[in-house]
Amino acid sequence: MSQRLTIALDAMGGDHAPDMVIAGAEIARERHPDVQYLVFGDAARIEPLVAKRPALKAVVQVHHTTEAVAGDAKPSVALRAGRQSSMRLAIDAVADGRAACVVSAGNTGALMAMAKFVLKTLPGIDRPAIASFFPTLRGESIMLDLGANTECSAENLVEFAVMGSVFARQVLGVSEPTVALLNIGSEDVKGNDTVRAAAARLRETTLPGRFHGFVEGNDIAQGTVDVIVTDGFTGNVALKTAEGTAKLYAESLKRTFESSVMARIGYLLARSAFKKLRMRMDPRRYNGAMFLGLRGVCVKSHGGTDAYGFANAVGVAVNLAVNGFNERIKEEMQRLGPATPLPDTKAAAV
Amino acid sequence: MSQRLTIALDAMGGDHAPDMVIAGAEIARERHPDVQYLVFGDAARIEPLVAKRPALKAVVQVHHTTEAVAGDAKPSVALRAGRQSSMRLAIDAVADGRAACVVSAGNTGALMAMAKFVLKTLPGIDRPAIASFFPTLRGESIMLDLGANTECSAENLVEFAVMGSVFARQVLGVSEPTVALLNIGSEDVKGNDTVRAAAARLRETTLPGRFHGFVEGNDIAQGTVDVIVTDGFTGNVALKTAEGTAKLYAESLKRTFESSVMARIGYLLARSAFKKLRMRMDPRRYNGAMFLGLRGVCVKSHGGTDAYGFANAVGVAVNLAVNGFNERIKEEMQRLGPATPLPDTKAAAV
């Protein structure tokens, strides 16, 4: 068992858990036949779901616990009271080396708090960040931080830039990824002290990629760069604004096709082309927010996702593990040396 | 002439000025026959454009100046060196009462700096904010600040909430507008000190509307509330992220219809329905960012807009002027009384 990649699954996190988790594991098993799973949660509910899937049963070990972190639990409460929860036990499995990755569709704040507390950050990394893929006109980009750190110092942003460019290289396979800071204008004088100080530092840093400078909100979907770096407040607002706008567009498109008989017939004719558009825009394709900067791979699936989306989150974890992502981060941070304090930066808040 | 609403136009601002400005004024004239215009800019270029439009000529006075603010000029430079520019002279016309509003498609930073310097803020308002309309699933909402203030204090956000709700009532005609602060979660504990302090204050304030609490990025397009309040950094990123996402969607849709013969035929059949969708999503419809909080109406048109978009920006200015927007703001701020300093708020930066 030790030669194969092992992934710990929190079977009780997410709106449709544990059914969605086990069905997702079955899809992931077909895609990654060499992976095995440690599944944490209520055995009475999980075992029957696994028993129905003989091929999955062969690669799954169920670890029983009745406790689970509530979707609305405060991170601090989950950290204190959730030591026997399915989420915590799955993270523990990564900490003690039984698994290489943990995947959960549960409470994001609790998952980040527990993962940070149990796994700790990588050497040279002050704060972990949440990263995710974005569909763009050119293909895919990644953006971080998407909500782990409400306020960030310039040093934090520099670390995010390093992690993001290693990610783009190792996982997306871009040999010289372009990296930019999200700002409200592309000129050097724009923005606040923090982004300007981070830009000054990144201009002097040899990244595993190329620093592009500043980009604006519209550059995200444009695919201007491979990696977009921002603080967790701005990143979270941008992520959710993009999701909301895509939904508005999709809903308006639906109303358009329902607005007349001719439009309905038109839709029927263009149906297969539309299927491709829907697949490209499918949020489940981009499911799986990565917690970067921890000693271990931790992937957060969207809470409302289905089995297909959950399997994609498992795929992201597999990718991070087999590409030796964390080893590269460590090397890059060592190469950069210890961070020297920067002038004019906002103090990092908790 | 004094009984009619007069609007000052910066004829030299924008990518396609002055042609687009004069063609836009002609469209605006048809829509608002009682309005007259003071047009500032290069008479040698403007006069021939006006002469071709006899009906417009009757309501236009051209004021010649050869100077114009460059699109990439720094606001501080424009302020110092641009005293005879078309933009500045148009703002001066509002300051000395010859016009009620100014409309420009020029450099946003320069326009804000000059308008703030020349017009000053309304009593009780510390900082002006940039506001604009957003299309939503329910209709239209407004969001502010979209970039005038990179960092904001809780007091600033409270002022924006008052201005936004007066706007929604006077211009959108919503009798009891709902107002929310943009945040990264809807729970009270989410976000940073500034948004939490602003929320605490807004819960105790009698707004010309109802305070909803926090909303997230996806609520913008959802139309959860009528007025979304945020700092200029976050607002600008959200605005441009939404624009970029809409463009990605439109471009992907176009590629979908070009992907097969059947899809092309489908498009032809659904064409008239699509025309409605395009009209609804047309960025020119939402053209016209309002500078709220100044002693005078100042509207910024998108720099790349065409005559149709510019006419819409003029329409926004007309709306603000005829609805007595600034008088209502003054009344509301007097009613609220002087702002008491709040604990735990970030110092407002310049």
Model confidence pLDDT, tens digit, residues A303-344: 888 999 999 999 999 988 888 888 888 888 888 765 554 444
CA distance A257 to A274: 12
Which residues in chain A touch residue B245, judged by CB atoms under 8 angstroms apart?
Answer: 220-221, 241-242, 245-246, 249
- Per-residue pLDDT for B50 more than 50? yes
pLDDT, position B336:
76
- Indicate if B16 and B43 belong to the same structural domain: yes
- Per-residue pLDDT for A299 more than 70? yes
- Indicate if A275 and A140 belong to the same structural domain: yes
Q: Cβ separation of A221 and B245 shorter than 8 Å?
A: yes
Lowest mean pLDDT among A58-62, A165-169, B213-217: A165-169
Q: Cβ distance B165 to B249 under 8 Å?
A: no
Instruction: Compute the mean pLDDT over every residue in chain B, rounded to the nearest whole number.
Output: 89
Q: Is residue A302 part of a domain?
A: no
Closest chain A residue by Cα to residue B271: A263
Select the residue of A184, A239, A281 nearest B147 (Cβ to Cβ). Answer: A184
- Per-residue pLDDT for B2 more than 50? no
Angle B150-B14-B7 from CA coordinates, rounded to 5°: 90
- Indicate if A112 and A133 belong to the same structural domain: no
A59 versus A341: the higher-pLDDT residue is: A59
Q: Cβ separation of A221 and B236 shorter than 8 Å?
A: no
- Indicate if A178 and A68 belong to the same structural domain: no
Which residues in chain A touch residue B271, judged by CB atoms under 8 angstroms apart?
Answer: 266
Which one of B225, B237, B243 would you mutate to disrupt binding with A, by most A Cβ within 10 Å of its Cβ? B237
Identify the H or E element spanning A227: strand A227-229
Lowest mean pLDDT among A56-70, A191-205, A267-281, B153-167: A267-281
- Indicate if B207 and B234 belong to the same structural domain: yes
Mean pLDDT value of segment A86-108: 96
Q: Cβ separation of B242 and A135 shorter than 8 Å?
A: no
Q: Is residue A102 part of a domain?
A: yes
Q: What is the DSSP letter of A67?
A: B
Q: Cβ separation of A277 and B252 shorter than 8 Å?
A: yes
- Indicate if A82 and A175 belong to the same structural domain: no
Closest chain A residue by Cα to residue B280: A252
pLDDT, position A331:
85
**CATH number (domain holding residue A175):** 3.40.718.10
Amino acid at residue number A208: P
- Indicate if B140 and B253 belong to the same structural domain: yes
Query: Among B119, B151, B180, which residue terminates a domain?
Result: B119
Nearest to A183 by CA among B99, B129, B236: B236
- Per-residue pLDDT for A345 more than 80? no
Residue B178 contacts by C-beta under 8 Å, 6 or more apart in sequence? B209, B210, B211, B212, B224, B225, B226, B227
Helix/strand/coil for B349: coil
Q: What is the DSSP letter of B283?
A: G
Q: Is residue B317 part of a domain?
A: no
pLDDT tens-digit map of B300-314: 998 888 999 999 999
Q: Is residue B318 part of a domain?
A: no
Lowest mean pLDDT among A163-177, B101-115, B334-348: B334-348
pLDDT, position B287:
75
- Indicate if B63 and B140 belong to the same structural domain: no
- pLDDT category at B3 given cuts 50, 70, 90 is low
Which residues in chain A touch residue B182, judged by CB atoms under 8 angstroms apart?
Answer: 237
Provide the 10 A C-beta neighbour count for residue A92: 19
Helix/strand/coil for A214: strand
Q: Cβ distance A174 to A168 under 8 Å?
A: yes
Cβ-count burial B52-88 (b if 16+ within 10 Å, e if not): eeeebeebbebbebebbbeeebbbeebbeebeebbbb
CA distance B162 to B229: 10
Q: Is residue A250 part of a domain?
A: yes
How many independent structural domains does chain A possess? 2
- Indicate if B136 and B79 belong to the same structural domain: no
- Per-residue pLDDT for A168 more than 60? yes
- Indicate if A267 and A158 belong to the same structural domain: yes
- Indicate if A102 and A196 belong to the same structural domain: no
- pLDDT category at A78 given cuts 50, 70, 90 is very high
Query: Among B56, B89, B119, which residue terminates a domain?
Result: B119
- pLDDT category at B278 given cuts 50, 70, 90 is confident
pLDDT, position A349:
36
Q: Is residue A294 part of a domain?
A: no
Q: Cβ separation of A267 and B266 shorter than 8 Å?
A: yes
Which one of B195, B214, B218, B229 would you mutate to disrupt binding with A, by most A Cβ within 10 Å of its Cβ? B218
- Indicate if A110 and A131 belong to the same structural domain: no
Query: Among B119, B149, B166, which residue terminates a domain?
Result: B119
CA distance B125 to A247: 36
- A vs B, Cβ pairs < 8 A, gives 205
Mean pLDDT value of segment A60-79: 94
CA distances from A247 to A139, A252, B222 (A): 19, 8, 8
Select the residue of A74, A192, A218 nearest B151 (Cβ to Cβ). Answer: A192
Q: Is residue A296 part of a domain?
A: no
Domain hosting residue B279, numbered range: 125-291+327-350
Phi and psi at residue A202, in whole multiples of 5°?
Answer: -70, -25
Residue B180 contacts by C-beta under 8 Å, 6 or more apart in sequence? B211, B212, B213, B214, B215, B219, B224, B225, B227, B228, B229
Q: Is residue B204 part of a domain?
A: yes
Which one of B233, B267, B281 would you mutate to disrupt binding with A, by most A Cβ within 10 Å of its Cβ? B233
